[in-house]
Amino acid sequence: MFYRPIKSAILITIYFVLSAVTLFVLSFRGWGDAVAWLIATQFAGYAALYLIISLRLGGALKLFQWVPFGSTAILTAVGAVAAP
């Protein structure tokens, strides 16, 4: 019963790390801008999905994961726009 939230938190952390490593590695190959937009789109989709599920469960903070996903999407998009 208590393992589901722990597994979920570990998977979310792994996803953040893999996205950061992918963005870092591919930016050296010249694909950083395209990868940043892809990652921003993925995180925005996850944020929207978690927000919809959270609202259906009764409140915006029932599933708070949409907040870090949305923040990451915004920061990644800002980085893609600001990149030379």
Dihedral sign (CA 70, 71, 73, 74) = positive
pLDDT tens by residue, the chain, 84 residues: 455 666 667 777 888 888 888 888 888 888 878 888 988 998 899 899 889 988 888 888 877 888 888 998 999 899 888 876
So what's the pLDDT on residue 19? 85
Domain boundaries, the chain: 3-82
Q: Are 36 and 80 within 8 A, CB to CB?
A: yes
Of 46, 48, 49, 37, give the one whose Cα is nearest residue 75: 37
